[in-house]
Amino acid sequence: ACGKAGSDKKDDAKGGDSKSIGLLLPENASSVRYESFDKPFIEAKVKELCGDCTVKYSNAEGSAAKQKQQFDTLIAQGVKVIILDAFDAASTQSWVKEAADKGVKVIAYDRLATGPVSAYVSFDNEKVGELQGQALVDALGAKAADANIVMINGDDADPNAGKFKSGAHKVLDGKVKKVVYEQSGEWKPTVAGQKIGAAITQLGKDGFQAVYSANDGMAAAIITQLKSANINVPVGGQDAGLDAIQRLVSGEQSYTIYKAYKPLADSAAELAVALLQGKDVKAVASASIDSDTDKGIPAKLLDPKVVTKANIKDTVIADKLYTVADICTGTYADACKAAGLQ
């Protein structure tokens, strides 16, 4: 359906509930994606599908307890459908059950929340790890078999970090010589930078031939430290942040993983509107997945993509995530020309 955007909000809040969709995102400290992509994309798609629907968004700032409060607040406001990107997916069992008892439907977004959720949309996180591993092997090319690898993983407390790690290991173990240093960077750039410093000290400048970084923020710090030690080896991350794309252009970073947020957000919005209007979700979520607590959840699983210097144009620019002008600022202009972006 279409209709005028920006319909009367107050009306909505009073009349209820069949017109608003709750959106709960987990944090915004480690990645900018939530507020710069997921939220606006979902809002836009919901507007497109249902002109007088509104999205009520809250962010849990990295706390499961806070997210629970936001969850209950939405229910107190009378919201009937909630898109939940659980900060701690294992915690949500009792919440989702409570909500289901009150007739509130929950869509697990990005992370598979436990409890009787109505549908699940996500990227395949293990796949992300596998792609990262493969991209690193590709970046090494023929030298891969003789290469020693340093791995800087995400925070142990984040379940997705474990999936990235195991996915990456699945590919790397066997294709490279050895993972010679592996530590958690806690998702923090400064920490990651210091870990790589320790690795250099211990292994020597020639002790490793590539660095796996779980995300781009840590990759940036790793690259800075490598540069200062005059080491030039492939480094990759994930998230496809603007800074990472710029590093791809300048050749400092080898790849990043682009999880096209748009299809993910669009699917979630479609599912939410469908649930709001009482339609079947199977039309969108045709796959099926089991969580720790429930079986046969309708699911839509999307494939992430690897971005390298070569395919920037076909991915993030084509998806209008960034414009060439965004990327090719000041110091990157020359590199952009060389890469054929300008």
Residues 126-155 touching other proteins, rule: CB under 8 A, are none
Q: How far apart are CA 46 and CA 94, in angstroms?
A: 28
Size of the site for other proteins (CB under 8 A): 81
CA 265 to chain CA mean position, Å: 11
What does the block give as tokens for 329? Answer: 């600022």
DSSP letter assigned to residue 321: S
Q: According to the binding rule CB under 8 A, does residue 323 interact with other proteins?
A: no
- Contact set for other proteins, span 71-90 (CB under 8 A): 72-73, 75-78, 87-88, 90
Nearer to other proteins, 203 or 302 (CB): 203
Q: How far apart are CA 315 and CA 235, in angstroms?
A: 20
What does the block give as tokens for 157? Answer: 């407390």
Nearer to other proteins, 147 or 150 (CB): 150
Provide DSSP, 95-132.
HHHHHHHTT-EEEEESS--SSS-SEEEEE-HHHHHHHH
- Phi and psi at 282, nearest 5°, equal -60, -25
Give the interface segment with other proteins, choosing from 69-77, 122-130, 132-140, 257-265 (CB under 8 A).
Answer: 69-77
Q: According to the binding rule CB under 8 A, does residue 28 interact with other proteins?
A: yes
DSSP letter assigned to residue 323: -
Dihedral, 131, 137, 141, 142 alpha carbons, nearest 10: -140
Nearer to other proteins, 11 or 303 (CB): 11
Exactly one of 109, 120, 164, 181 binds other proteins (CB under 8 A); that residue is 181
Q: How far apart are CA 243 and CA 101, in angstroms?
A: 45
Exactly one of 186, 266, 270, 294 binds other proteins (CB under 8 A); that residue is 186
Q: According to the binding rule CB under 8 A, does residue 290 interact with other proteins?
A: no
Over the window 191 to 230, marking each residue x when it contacts other proteins by CB under 8 A and - when it does not, the resulting string is: -xxxx-xx-xxx-------------xx--xx-xxx-xxx-
Question: Smallest distance, Å, CB 126 to other proteins?
Answer: 17
Q: According to the binding rule CB under 8 A, does residue 38 interact with other proteins?
A: no
- Contact set for other proteins, span 155-174 (CB under 8 A): 156-157, 159
Question: Smallest distance, Å, CB 240 to other proteins?
Answer: 11
Provide DSSP, 157-217.
T-HHHHHHHHHHHHHHHHHBSEEEEEEE-TT-HHHHHHHHHHHHHHH-TTS-SEEEESSHH
What does the block give as tokens for 250? Answer: 């300048």
Exactly one of 61, 124, 126, 138 binds other proteins (CB under 8 A); that residue is 61
- Contact set for other proteins, span 238-277 (CB under 8 A): 241-243, 246-247, 250
Question: Smallest distance, Å, CB 217 to other proteins?
Answer: 6
